[in-house]
């Protein structure tokens, strides 16, 4: 297939003028077409159409060649167009003569990665979804734990002088892998070595929630731009391929979760609605209006039978996941609920009232409630082995058993600790300044390393 696709880009790709710093918004008309006109269109025009590929118009470019589509929207690394001009796929283009400059290749790459805009006023191209249905199980999946495989360590999508407040952090349930959200990107780190393994572009804006799928194969990010737009993106962890995008929100997504069978994304935000989206085609399955304030937390039960949502007023509602019908309302928090997490039969909630509550989902009763963080609890989560990790405004992260007994309290961070995860015997926590610290349980909660999330400097050849 590749060889029929790819007599493509012609025999005479001449290097055009060197481009300066890449614009944040790259479009076909303003940036990519001039590159093609200078280097490609002698062969890839409506008259010659070598290999069935015409690069003279946006529509023809998106249609592709005789071998199929050459642009995979949102996934530049998997796009045949970029592979061939980059020289990583045969036949390398051009077979003779000058190649495109590094700046021109980067321009095409940015265009594809940022949703292949046609013009400054056009909407981004739709991303095809390809999320497979997963078997619902609490057991460790067979085979090696999902880890990035040769995932490219990219430049930051949006370079910034310093890190932002750490509001998106997640740990893989089965792998030594931690995901950290930043400006228009998600960075993946090895939880033991703290090595950067790759960067996933999130051009939709700032990620506000990160979650791994129950089997660890997928990573979900929700976020957007406040008061403007919100989306949820899903990537395949080993390949870094973006496999789904759902949601067309008019405000930032604040909370979201992926169902254990990977068929549905539940999300919420400032519009006070809980929305259920189909991951297969991105269609809206259900929109539920019940909450009286921003929906700040969403979580699926371990078996996928329920989805819980909570709000800034302290309300928690558990819904039948399939029908969207209300199952039970949980009352008890006196302030905003900041996080929800499930184990079989149990729901944990954290609140700015400082408490963590464990709920029995069968009857809605409190099983346990304790004061966790003075000034407010910002986050709570379960580990696969049933431990609880939390953090809060007392600037610490803590590990608990289900009786509310503290097993570990980390050394205080410099500011409010906003997110914390437990990966094996390592606690990773981030604070208001954007600092992300790693703590060892064996060392009694002393920090042993820091994840360098400040955007990287431009790499040198």
pLDDT digits (tens, 9 = 90+) for 170-211: 999 999 999 999 988 999 999 999 999 999 989 889 999 999
Same domain, 106 and 184: no
Assess if residue 348 is contained within a domain: yes
234 lies in the same domain as 321:
yes
| 87 and 203 share one domain | no
Q: Are residues 186 and 60 in the same domain?
A: no
What's the number of domains the chain is made of? 2
For residues 105 and 182, membership in a common domain is answered with no
Of 113, 136, 153, the residue at which a domain comes to its end is: 113
Look at residue 11 in the predicted model and tell me its pLDDT: 30
Stretch 340-357: mean pLDDT: 97
Closest C-alpha among 40, 184, 213 to residue 115: 184
Q: Is 460 within the bounds of a domain?
A: no
Q: Hey, which of 20-34, 54-68, 102-116, 167-181 has the most confident mean pLDDT?
A: 167-181
Query: Which of 66, 83, 113 corresponds to the end of one domain?
Result: 113
Minimal CA–CA distance to 115: which of 20, 233, 282, 271?
Answer: 233
Show Cβ contacts of residue 285 under 8 Å, excluding neighbours closer than 6 positions: 264, 276, 277, 278, 324
Assign 91 to helix, strand or coil: coil
The edge-to-edge listing of strands for the beta sheet with 264-268 is 255-258, 264-268, 273-278, 284-289
CATH number at residue 197: 2.130.10.10
Give the helix ranges, DSSP H, for 278-379. none
Does residue 56 fall inside a structural domain?
yes
β-sheet bridge partners, residue 185? 182, 201
pLDDT of residue 10: 34
Q: Are residues 104 and 238 in the same domain?
A: no
Q: How far is CA 162 from the centre of its chain?
A: 20
* pLDDT band at residue 156 under the 50/70/90 scheme: low
> Can you tell me the distance from the alpha carbon of 273 to that of 320, in angstroms, rounded to the nearest whole number?
16
**Average pLDDT across the chain, whole number:** 88
For β-strands 346-351 and 355-360, DSSP reports them as antiparallel
In this structure, what token pair is assigned to residue 25?
A: 């918004």
The pLDDT value recorded for residue 455 is 52
- Both 322 and 431 in one domain: the answer is yes
My answer on whether 350 and 414 are in the same domain is yes
254 and 334 belong to one structural domain? yes
Q: What pLDDT was estimated at residue 124?
A: 75
CB of 181 within 8 A of CB of 155?
A: no
| Spatial contact of 289 and 272, defined as CB atoms under 8 Å apart | yes
pLDDT score of 122 more than 90: no
Higher-scoring residue by pLDDT: 232, 5: 232
Same domain, 105 and 193: no
124 inside domain: no
Q: Looking at the domain assignment, is residue 406 inside a domain?
A: yes
- List pLDDT tens digits, range 268-327: 999 999 999 999 988 899 999 999 999 999 999 999 999 999 999 999 999 999 999 999
Is 128 inside any structural domain? no
Confidence of residue 154 (pLDDT cuts 50, 70, 90): low
- Of 70, 90, 113, the one marking the end of a domain is 113
Same domain, 92 and 187: no
Question: What is the C-alpha separation between 36 and 44, in angstroms, rounded?
Answer: 9
In a domain, 32, yes or no: yes
pTM for the predicted model, two decimal places? 0.75
Using DSSP's 3-state secondary structure scheme, residue 8 falls into coil
Same structural domain for residues 66 and 194?
no
User: Can you give the residue range of the structural domain that contains 45?
Assistant: 2-113
Q: Say whether pLDDT at 251 is over 90.
A: yes
Query: Is 226 within a domain?
Result: yes
Q: Do residues 44 and 50 lie in contact, with contact meaning Cβ atoms separated by under 8 Å?
A: yes
The size of the chain, in residues, is 461
């Amino acid at each position: 297939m590749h060889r029929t696709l790819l007599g493509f880009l012609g025999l005479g790709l001449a290097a055009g003028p060197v481009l300066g710093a890449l614009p944040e918004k790259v479009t076909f008309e303003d940036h990519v077409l001039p590159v093609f006109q200078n280097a490609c269109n002698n062969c890839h025009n409506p008259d010659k159409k070598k290999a069935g590929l015409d690069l003279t118009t946006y529509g023809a470019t998106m249609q592709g060649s005789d071998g199929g589509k050459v642009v995979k929207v949102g996934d530049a690394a998997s796009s045949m167009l970029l592979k061939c001009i980059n020289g990583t796929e045969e036949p390398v283009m051009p077979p003779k003569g000058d190649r495109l400059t590094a700046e021109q290749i980067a321009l095409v790459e940015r265009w594809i990665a940022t949703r292949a805009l046609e013009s400054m006023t056009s909407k981004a191209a739709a991303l095809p979804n390809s999320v497979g249905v997963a078997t619902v199980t609490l057991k460790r999946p067979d085979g090696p734990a999902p880890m990035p495989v040769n995932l490219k360590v990219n430049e930051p999508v949006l370079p910034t002088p310093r890190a932002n407040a750490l509001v998106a952090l997640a740990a893989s349930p089965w792998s030594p892998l931690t995901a950290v959200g930043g400006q228009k990107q998600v960075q993946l780190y090895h939880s033991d070595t703290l090595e950067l393994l790759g960067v996933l572009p999130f051009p939709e804006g700032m990620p506000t929630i990160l979650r791994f799928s129950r089997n660890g194969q997928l990573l979900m990010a929700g976020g957007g731009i406040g008061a403007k737009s919100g989306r949820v993106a899903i990537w395949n962890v080993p390949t870094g391929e973006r496999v789904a995008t759902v949601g067309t929100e008019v405000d930032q997504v604040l909370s979201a979760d992926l169902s254990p069978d990977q068929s549905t994304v539940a999300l919420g935000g400032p519009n006070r609605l809980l929305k259920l989206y189909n991951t297969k085609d991105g269609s809206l399955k259900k929109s539920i209006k019940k909450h009286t304030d921003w929906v700040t937390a969403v979580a699926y039960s371990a078996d996928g039978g329920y989805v819980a949502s909570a709000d800034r007023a302290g309300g928690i509602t558990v819904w039948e996941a399939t029908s969207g019908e209300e199952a039970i309302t949980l009352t008890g928090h006196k302030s905003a609920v900041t996080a929800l997490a499930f184990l079989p039969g149990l729901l944990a909630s954290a609140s700015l009232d400082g408490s963590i509550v464990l709920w029995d989902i069968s009857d809605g009763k409190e099983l346990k409630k304790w004061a966790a963080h003075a000034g407010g609890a910002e986050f709570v989560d379960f580990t696969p082995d049933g431990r609880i990790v939390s953090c809060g405004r007392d600037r610490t992260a803590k590990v608990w058993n289900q009786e509310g007994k503290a097993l570990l309290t980390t050394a205080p961070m410099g500011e409010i600790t906003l997110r914390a995860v437990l990966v094996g015997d390592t606690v990773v926590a981030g604070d208001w300044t954007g600092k992300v610290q790693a703590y060892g349980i064996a060392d009694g909660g002393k920090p042993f390393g820091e994840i360098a999330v400040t955007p990287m400097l431009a790499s040198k050849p």
